[in-house]
Amino acid sequence: MPENKQVSPFFVFYLIHSQQIGVAVLGFERYVAKSAGHDAWISVILSGLSIMGVMWLCYRILTKEGNDIISIHHRIFGKYAGNLLNTLFVGYASLLVLLNLRTYVEVIQVWMFPETYHWIFVVLILLLAYSFVTNGFRVVTGICFLSVIYSIPLLFVKYFPLKEAHIGNLLPIFSHSIPDILEASQTMTLNYLGYEMILIFYPFIKNGPKSEKWAYYSILVTIGVYLLTIFTSFVYFDQDQLRTTIWSTLTLWKIVDLVIIERFEYIGIAAWLFVVISNIALGLWAASRALNRFTFMTQRISLRGVAIVILALSIMITERPQIDQLNFYANTAGFYIAYVYIPFLYLCHLFIKKGRAQ
């Protein structure tokens, strides 16, 4: 890989963290609390630590192979089976883009412009992300970097609900069973998705093995952000309120009291566009790059094809139950990729390595 197309190892922190902090952080508390109640913060930690374990497996594969998931599939499974798996990877990356895009557009519709057709926002956001991707991976990395920086001030807004905190909402601790906590951990998996993009952009990292520590740091910071978010919601809302609050973070933004801003949630939603754009841009880049690597298409053509498919599907999704179904599909796919496929791929890699040694 030419050095002028690569980025420094520490940028992996921003690339992974920007993917894991997406639109889901605006309302994930309600879903994990269904299973584990006020003990769901334990699930946030367990799920995050398990993803760190999966990331360790990814780096063991990538550092030994020195290439992306496309080449690894071909080497381990052959051309035809490898291409089938590569196609599934393209579909998975596209699914994450579709999920982030359509969910964010729903937020805009519900909270800001309820009378506006959703396809208008879909087209505008997709065009913006497309323009970044056409300028290459380094530009996409820059967008991911900015999305992390721009999201930091929104963390300080949690000061306002914490002023009215009811710490008793967290008690009693450890009152839920282990199966309940594990079920919530599975639900929480959706919020940590996006780290898998390392499997495709790894060759674009200068001295890839040195980036491993930054990948772990990014996941740790993500765990911290989700913990702060879920604790803030739990000490402000009781469990009955949380069950009926779809967008907990957005609801908390409504209580922000600033002299010069009356409706802070509008500012928050607008600022969150930078976060969502980074999700969409890197996902589009990963899907188009993967498609380019195992087909005759150039990346520009594959990018257009992926973008058109996502645009069509986004326009077809018009109701909240459809978005919930999309969340279910992404969560299920992400769960099996993390805890079944990547460990399986690692074992295959070990067997091949051992066979060569013999």
The model's pLDDT over 245-286, given as tens digits with 9 standing for 90+, comes to 889 999 999 888 777 777 888 999 999 999 999 999 999 999
> Is the preceding omega at residue 209 within 30 degrees of 0, hence cis?
no
Query: 203-240 pLDDT, tens per residue?
Result: 999 999 999 999 999 999 999 999 999 999 999 998 88
Identify the domain containing residue 338 by its residue range: 3-357
pLDDT per residue as tens digits for the range 105-160: 999 999 999 988 999 999 999 999 999 999 999 999 999 999 999 999 999 999 99
Q: Identify the pLDDT of residue 263.
A: 83
Check pLDDT > 90 for residue 22: no
* pLDDT-derived band at 350, boundaries 50, 70, 90: confident
Overall domain count for the chain: 1
Which band of pLDDT confidence, cut at 50, 70 and 90, is reported for residue 99? very high
| Region of 136 on the Ramachandran plot (φ > 0 left; ψ -120 to 50 alpha; else beta) | left
Give the per-residue pLDDT at 172. 86
Alpha-carbon span 90 to 190, nearest angstrom: 18
Sign of the torsion angle spanned by Cα atoms 51, 92, 337, 134: negative
Span 160-210, pLDDT tens digits: 999 888 888 888 888 889 999 999 999 998 899 999 999 999 999 999 999
- C-alpha–C-alpha distance, residues 39 and 113, integer Å: 35
The pLDDT assigned to 52 comes to: 96
Give the CATH number of the domain where residue 312 resides: 1.20.1740.10
Mean pLDDT (whole number) for 47-68: 94
pLDDT tier for residue 354 given thresholds of 50, 70 and 90: low
